[in-house]
Amino acid sequence: MIARRPLLRRMASALLAHAARMLPRNRASWAEAIEREGQYIENDAAALRWAMGCVSASYRERIMAMDLHQRMNRLSAIAPTVMSLLALADVLMVVITGWERHLKDEGTAAHIFQLLIVGQLPVIAMFLVTANWRQAAALVRPVAFQVAALVLALGSVAFFRL
């Protein structure tokens, strides 16, 4: 009877196989290297930690190999700022026109505002994932614009006591 490998080892092997599959085709030799290196780690828990890191590396390589990842980064850098400014415009519209000021509960304008703010979270996550962290200084400006626009939008709600 063949002894079954420990659970941690089986998980590590599965993750390494997944990491190898996720690497771009031009990294085929690296995929094989990653998968085989795990077999040389004696400790099962260490092998699992190693495998998890390899999955992270392979996802990163896959994203970096994409031509459109820079475009995705630029778009996701701008989008949160635009969304915050739209949220600000929503607030100003309510204030200027008096639309839904009489409502006791949240109306359409409030829901639009909330969607524009909360909807930034996945966009910001995309921005962080696709950012080139080796040139972190270049990230300061888009982040500053995002923060400033968000502060304006949220601050307007507080200022007008909506």
Partner 1 sequence: MARRPNISRQTHALLVAMLREPLRWHHGYELSQQTGLKSGTLYPILMRLSDQGLLESKWQEPEHPGRPPRHAYRLTSEGRAFVRSFAEPAAAPARRRRVAGAGA
Q: How far is CA 133 from CA 6, 54, 112, 125, 148, in A?
A: 38, 19, 33, 14, 21
Return the number of the residue (1 or 26) whose C-beta is nearest partner 1.
Answer: 26
> Any residues with CB less than 8 A from the CB of 89 and at least 6 apart, and which?
none
Binding site for partner 1 (CB under 8 A): 27, 29-30, 32-34, 36-37, 39-41, 49-57, 60-61, 134
Closest distance of CB 123 from partner 1, Å: 24
Nearer to partner 1, 32 or 106 (CB): 32
- Looking at the Cβ atoms of 134 and 161, the one nearer to partner 1 is 134
Minimum CB distance to partner 1, residue 141 (Å): 19
Residue 143, Cβ neighbours under 10 Å: how many? 17
Secondary structure (3-state) at 131 = coil
Q: Which is nearer to partner 1, 25 or 102 (CB)?
A: 25
Q: What is the Cα–Cα distance from 72 to 60, expressed in whole angstroms? A: 14
From CA 20, how far away is CA 42, in angstroms rounded? 20
CB of 71 to partner 1, least distance (A): 21
Closer residue to partner 1 (CB): 6 or 53: 53
Give 12's contacts (C-beta < 8 A, 6+ positions apart).
38, 41, 44, 47, 48, 50, 51
Number of C-beta neighbours around residue 44 at 10 A = 16
